[in-house]
Amino acid sequence: MEWGDTPEQAAFREEVRAFIDGRLPGYFRDHGEPVGLETGDWQAEFVLGTEVARAAAREWMEALQERGWVAPHWPREYGGAGLSTVEHFIFNQEMARAGAPPVGGQGVSMLGPTILLHGSDEQKRRFLEPTLSGEMLWAQGFSEPGAGSDLAGLQARADRDGDEYVINGEKLWTSRAHKSNWIFGLFRTDPQAPKHRGISFLVMDERTPGIDVRRIDSMGWEHATNETFYEDVRVPADQLIGEENRGWYVAMTLLDFERSNIAGAELNRRRIRELVDYLSTEAGTPHRERARAHRDAVADHYVASEVLFNFSLRIVSMQASGTVPNYEASTSKIVDSQLRQQLSRTGTKIFGLYGGIWDEGDPLAPMGALFTQEYVHSVVYTIFGGTNEIQRNIIATRGLGLPRG
């Protein structure tokens, strides 16, 4: 497909580029690929843990807040910038291209749009502004020990008791629960209903008595996920988002926000470009011999990254015309997750034992151990967010019209 900016879109793209050039702190330019920043919780220990890192994160957050670009896709009346689908695509593309850290976390990208669509006026007033300011930091409570890919099989209960719900059960892989102070999640409110019904979407203060967050350690340098236990947790009924027993359908709208995956597509393109550029420098000289053995793989990754990028353009054009991507988003997820695994494996092979050196000040440290860290982290990319096997089923049945079973 052909893609070209209109004059208005081109002007907006230049505006975003100029903003990034002028306001992105030098710290992020100098320290390689940054980690996403939760609003108000700079997570600077993941960047390097220094006061300089925290100051840079605060500076970047404040710059984005001035423009309403912490949540650029939210309406202006709720603190966003009111960007159109295409403008939001351009914004995300330029952020990813420049390596500027994404901001806001799940509260901004997922919960906020859900409340805008399904929440009451009182809920919008109560939750949106504190989410933007960072007063409320959100974790997602969906998966359970027996309900991951088959999320509708969840068993954590929320039983109505007057003006409250009483919650009991367990959630697994609760990302950022050790950093957040609020949780949004799915809980079964009618155990007699078919499994996709009888589920409700609730939000709760993580400091409510009865909530116990336990750390789950994983490979790599980042503690990102947890298991969360609920024992007689009382949640006010006015913290139900949408209708009771309709939470599954509320949650599904989370997946319809920003499905183009342009950030992932641009991330892969940038990593390939940076790898090739690094190998062309004096610092990359020791690794060129191994790189020759993997140049076909690098070329294949380049082709896949361009395919993914153009597929992202297709998805955003569908969104702009009012068409909801379905199997197209599944296709993008498969290509992106597999490419990130393959690219990190190739980078790890090229750099060998040097690839584990983390200190960017060490002349022997290639690209700050980026590919080695990504290699460790990328194991889950084909699993979370709906396994690639499930995505293939969606493509087969909804995209190709093949029979189920």
Statement: residue 93 has pLDDT above 50:
yes
Handedness of CA 52, 55, 61, 66 (dihedral sign): negative
| pLDDT band at residue 45 using 50, 70 and 90 as cut-offs | very low
- pLDDT, greater one: 355 or 300: 300
Statement: residue 167 has pLDDT above 50:
yes
Task: List, as one string, the DSSP characters of 183-226.
Answer: EEEEEES-TTS-TTSSEEEEEEETTSTTEEEEEE--SSS---EE
CA–CA separation, 272 and 261 (whole Å): 17
Identify the H or E element spanning 229: strand 225-236
CATH architecture of 7-103: Orthogonal Bundle (1.10)
Q: What is the pLDDT of residue 256?
A: 62
Mean pLDDT of the residues in the chain: 88
Q: Where are the domains positioned within the chain?
A: 7-103, 138-253, 259-399
CA–CA separation, 372 and 47 (whole Å): 16
Identify the H or E element spanning 241: strand 240-241
Percent share of the chain, pLDDT over 70: 91
| pLDDT band at residue 90 using 50, 70 and 90 as cut-offs | very high
| CB contact at 8 A, 51 and 31 | no
In this structure, what is the dihedral angle of CA atoms 366, 370, 375, 376, given to the nearest 10 degrees?
Answer: 110
Q: Phi first, then psi: what are they for 214, rounded to 5°? A: -120, 135
| pLDDT band at residue 33 using 50, 70 and 90 as cut-offs | low
The whole-number average pLDDT for the span 376-385 is 87
Looking from the CA of 249 toward its CB, the CA atoms found within 13 Å total 9
Residue 147 β-bridge partners: 144
Q: What is the pLDDT of residue 226?
A: 94
Q: What is the pLDDT of residue 32?
A: 57
Which residue out of 258, 266, 328, 374 is catalytically annotated?
258
The whole-number average pLDDT for the span 85-99 is 90
Q: Is 233 helix (H, G, I), strand (E, B) or coil?
A: strand
Out of 33-37, 285-289, 384-388, 398-402, least confident range: 33-37
Out of 66-75, 86-95, 369-378, least confident range: 369-378
Ramachandran class of 369: left when φ > 0, alpha when ψ lies in -120 to 50, beta otherwise: left
The whole-number average pLDDT for the span 369-390 is 88
Q: Is 255 helix (H, G, I), strand (E, B) or coil?
A: helix
Q: What is the pLDDT of residue 48?
A: 45
The whole-number average pLDDT for the span 127-139 is 92
Statement: residue 134 has pLDDT above 90:
no
| pLDDT band at residue 139 using 50, 70 and 90 as cut-offs | very high
pLDDT digits (tens, 9 = 90+) for 242-293: 999 999 999 987 766 656 677 888 889 999 999 999 888 887 888 888 888 8
Statement: residue 180 has pLDDT above 60:
yes
- pLDDT, greater one: 237 or 315: 237
CA–CA separation, 171 and 112 (whole Å): 21
CATH architecture of 138-253: Beta Barrel (2.40)
| pLDDT band at residue 404 using 50, 70 and 90 as cut-offs | confident
The verdict on whether 144 is a catalytic residue reads no
| pLDDT band at residue 43 using 50, 70 and 90 as cut-offs | very low
pLDDT digits (tens, 9 = 90+) for 217-239: 877 666 788 999 999 999 999 99
CATH superfamily, domain 259-399, is Butyryl-CoA Dehydrogenase, subunit A, domain 3 (1.20.140.10)
Q: What is the pLDDT of residue 340?
A: 95
HEC profile of 125-183: HHHHHHHHHCCCCEEEECCECCECCCHHHCCCEEEEECCEEEEEEEECCCCCCCCCCEE
DSSP H stretches of helix in 283-377: 288-293, 295-320, 327-351, 370-377
Cα end-to-end distance, the chain, whole Å: 34
